[in-house]
């Protein structure tokens, strides 16, 4: 797994990933997480993960503080 800092929406996130990700995929995932308020302490207390989609790709995403772990998930099609 690799990690890298990623500036998006005036926040610096640490993105951890296994597979190569396009910048558009990362931005889409972060936008969706921001909409879901995944970075709020109340949301983080629930643990778990998010199943998100960009274009025709599916991702399983975990959030801890400003760290985001992204795993490409096989599609069901």
- Asked whether residue 6 is domain-assigned, the answer is no
C-alpha distance from residue 72 to each of 40, 42, 43, 47, 61 (Å): 24, 26, 22, 19, 9
- Asked whether residue 2 is domain-assigned, the answer is no
- Asked whether residue 30 is domain-assigned, the answer is yes
- For 17-53, the pLDDT digits (tens) are 988 899 999 999 999 999 999 998 777 666 679 999 9
Structural domain for 23, as ranges = 17-73
- Asked whether residue 53 is domain-assigned, the answer is yes
Q: Where are the beta strands (DSSP E) in the chain?
A: 2-8, 11-17, 50-54, 57-64, 67-73
- Asked whether residue 40 is domain-assigned, the answer is yes
- Asked whether residue 9 is domain-assigned, the answer is no
Predicted TM-score (pTM) of this structure: 0.88
Q: How many domains does the chain have?
A: 1
- pLDDT score recorded for residue 44: 61
Other C-beta atoms closer than 10 Å to the C-beta of 41 total 7
């Amino acid at each position: 797994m690799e990690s890298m800092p990623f500036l998006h929406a005036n926040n610096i996130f640490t993105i951890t990933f296994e597979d190569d990700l396009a910048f558009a995929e990362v931005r889409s995932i972060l936008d969706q997480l921001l909409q879901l308020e995944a970075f709020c302490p109340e949301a983080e207390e629930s643990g778990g993960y998010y199943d998100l989609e960009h274009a025709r790709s599916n991702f399983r995403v975990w959030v801890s503080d400003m760290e985001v772990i992204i795993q490409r998930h096989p599609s069901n099609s």
